Amino acid sequence: MTDLAESPAVRRLADWDPADLQSLVGEYGSPLYVLDLERVRQNYRRLEAAFPDAEILYAVKANALGDVLTTLREAGAGLECASAGEVKRALDAGASGDEVHYTAVNPPARDLDWLVDAWRDHPDLTVTAGSEDTIDRLADRGYNGRLCLRVNPGIGAGHHEKVRTGAAAKFGVPAERAVEVLANAADRGFDVVGIHAHVGSGVSSDQLDAHREFVARMGDLARDVSEALGGSGLEFVDVGGGFGVPYREDEEPLELGSVADATREALGELDARLTIEPGRYFVADAGVLLTAVNTVKAARETTVVGVDAGMTTLLRPAMYDAYHPIRNVTVDAAAANGDDGSERERLPQTVAGPICESGDVFCSDRELPKSERGDVLAIGNAGAYGYEMANQYNSRPRPASVVVDGNAVWVSRQREDVEDVIRPERAASDGLKTTPPRGE
CA atoms 169, 175, 176, 182: torsion sign: positive
Identify whether 363 is a catalytic site residue: no
Q: What does pTM read for this prediction?
A: 0.92
Same domain, 341 and 290: yes
Tell me, what's the pLDDT at 243?
86
Query: pLDDT (tens digit, 9 = 90+) per residue, 44-78?
Result: 999 999 999 999 999 999 999 999 999 999 999 99
Same domain, 231 and 348: no
pLDDT grade, residue 241 (50/70/90)?
confident
Average pLDDT, the chain: 90
* Residue 218 domain-assigned (yes or no): yes
Percent of the chain with pLDDT over 90: 73
Same domain, 345 and 208: no
Tell me, what's the pLDDT at 364?
96
* Residue 203 domain-assigned (yes or no): yes
CATH number of the domain enclosing 276: 3.20.20.10
Same domain, 231 and 318: no
* Residue 62 domain-assigned (yes or no): yes
Is 161 in a helix, a strand, or coil?
helix
Is 370 in a helix, a strand, or coil?
coil
* Residue 398 domain-assigned (yes or no): yes
Which has the closest alpha carbon to 217: 198, 191, 245?
A: 198
List the binding residues for substrate.
Answer: 280, 316, 320, 357, 385
Percent of the chain with pLDDT over 70: 90
Catalytic residue among 81, 148, 356, 363: 356
Which has the closest alpha carbon to 353: 408, 380, 315?
A: 315
- Separation between Cα atoms, residue 344 and residue 347, nearest integer Å: 9
* Residue 32 domain-assigned (yes or no): no
CA atoms 173, 176, 178, 183: torsion sign: negative
List the binding residues.
Answer: 242, 277-280, 316, 320, 357, 385
Averaged over 2-13, what is the pLDDT? 77
* Residue 277 domain-assigned (yes or no): yes
Contacts of 198 (CB under 8 A, 6+ apart): 150, 165, 166, 171, 239, 240, 241, 242, 277
Q: What's the structural domain count of the chain?
A: 2
Same domain, 221 and 349: no
Residue range of the domain that includes 251:
37-283
Which has the closest alpha carbon to 214: 235, 234, 200, 228?
A: 200
Query: pLDDT (tens digit, 9 = 90+) per residue, 371-410?
Result: 999 999 999 999 999 999 999 999 999 999 999 999 999 9
- Separation between Cα atoms, residue 143 and residue 305, nearest integer Å: 54
Of 69-83, 98-112, 245-259, 301-315, least confident by mean pLDDT is: 245-259
CATH number of the domain enclosing 379: 2.40.37.10
Same domain, 216 and 292: no
Same domain, 133 and 41: yes
* Residue 430 domain-assigned (yes or no): no
Averaged over 275-291, what is the pLDDT? 97
Same domain, 278 and 168: yes
Over 60: is that where the pLDDT of 439 sits?
A: no
Over 70: is that where the pLDDT of 310 sits?
A: yes
Over 50: is that where the pLDDT of 1 sits?
A: no
**Alpha carbon 264 to chain centroid distance?**
24
Tell me, what's the pLDDT at 343?
83
pLDDT grade, residue 339 (50/70/90)?
confident
Residue ending a domain, choose from 268, 283, 298: 283
SS3 readout for 299-324:
CCCCEEEEECCCCCCCCHHHHHCCCC
Residue ending a domain, choose from 260, 283, 306: 283
Look at 271 and 37; give whichever has higher pLDDT.
37
pLDDT grade, residue 440 (50/70/90)?
very low
The answer to whether the beta carbons of residues 235 and 273 sit under 8 Å apart is yes
Averaged over 136-159, what is the pLDDT? 84
CA quadruple 312, 399, 44, 148: dihedral, nearest 10: 60
CA atoms 315, 318, 322, 327: torsion sign: positive
List the binding residues for pyridoxal 5'-phosphate.
Answer: 242, 277-280, 385
* Residue 21 domain-assigned (yes or no): no
Same domain, 353 and 252: no
Same domain, 209 and 289: no
The answer to whether the beta carbons of residues 218 and 254 sit under 8 Å apart is no
* Other Cβ atoms closer than 10 A to 267: 19
Same domain, 294 and 150: no
Same domain, 261 and 333: no
